[in-house]
């Protein structure tokens, strides 16, 4: 009995008990299925673990952890946080603008309901285009920041890059 309880506790802690496929009716109807609370909590803890690794100067391990959030929890709302962290890392630390742009594009998708995240992702997407000297596309994205998110703090920085 004690072993069965230990095994159940281990399965619950790993999240595998709750990682079931969504019902077929929701997939067929085309509605977005959000991750469970348990998945969100675990994804958030992984993000924090990645932040701790970055603070400990273990950047490669932090990148692996953030990527694992995206792979393991594709329906969690925290996947957009992971995309933003990866994009910021590639933009600011590695200066690999094409890899950063991929993550910022994912963070700006319509599935993301967080306006501040979408505003930040859109601005950083424009900054990536700016650094690869694609100024036309950069200015277009910066204008999108100004039009779509007029009250966000990113608007001032968008004007800065346009100027």
What is the per-residue pLDDT for 17? 40
Percent of the chain with pLDDT over 90: 77
In the block, tokens 């990527």 appear at 67
Token digits for 3? Answer: 């072993």
- How far apart CA 15 and CA 136 sit, in angstroms, is 45
**What does the radius of gyration of the chain's CA atoms come to, in whole angstroms?**
19
pLDDT the model gives residue 11? 42
Q: Output the CA angle 125-131-135, nearest 5 degrees.
A: 80
- The pLDDT score that the predictor gives to residue 158 is 96
Structure tokens at 43: 């994804």
Q: Would you say residue 7 has pLDDT above 70?
A: no
What is the rounded average pLDDT of the residues 99-117? 95
Q: What does the pLDDT read at residue 156?
A: 96
The tens digit of pLDDT for each residue in 67-79 reads: 999 999 999 999 9
Contacts for 90-97 with beta carbons within 8 Å, 24 or more apart?
91/124, 91/127, 91/128, 91/131, 93/59, 95/131, 97/128, 97/131, 97/132
| Residues 11-68: tens digit of each pLDDT | 444 444 444 444 443 444 344 456 689 999 999 999 999 999 999 999 999 999 999 9
Instruction: Give the separation between CA 41 and CA 136, rounded to whole angstroms.
Output: 40
Average model confidence (pLDDT) across the chain:
85
d(CA 123, CA 134) in angstroms, rounded, equals 14
Q: Tell me which of 67 and 9 has the higher pLDDT.
A: 67
Q: Which pLDDT value is given to residue 73?
A: 95
Structure-model confidence comparison of residues 149 and 21, the more confident one: 149
């Amino acid at each position: 009995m004690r072993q069965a309880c230990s095994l159940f506790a281990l399965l619950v802690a790993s999240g595998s008990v709750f990682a079931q496929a969504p019902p077929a009716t929701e997939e067929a109807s085309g509605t977005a299925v959000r991750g469970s609370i348990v998945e969100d909590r675990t994804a958030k803890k992984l993000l924090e673990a990645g932040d701790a690794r970055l603070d400990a100067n273990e950047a490669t391990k932090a990148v692996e952890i953030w990527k694992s959030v995206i792979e393991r929890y594709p329906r969690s709302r925290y996947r957009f946080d992971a995309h933003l962290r990866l994009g910021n890392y590639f933009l600011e630390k590695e200066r690999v603008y094409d890899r950063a742009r991929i993550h910022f594009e994912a963070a700006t998708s319509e599935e993301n309901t967080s306006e501040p995240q979408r505003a930040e992702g859109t601005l950083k997407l424009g900054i990536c285009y700016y650094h690869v000297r694609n100024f036309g596309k950069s200015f277009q994205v910066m204008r999108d920041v100004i039009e779509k998110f007029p009250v966000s703090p990113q608007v001032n920085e968008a004007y800065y890059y346009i100027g």
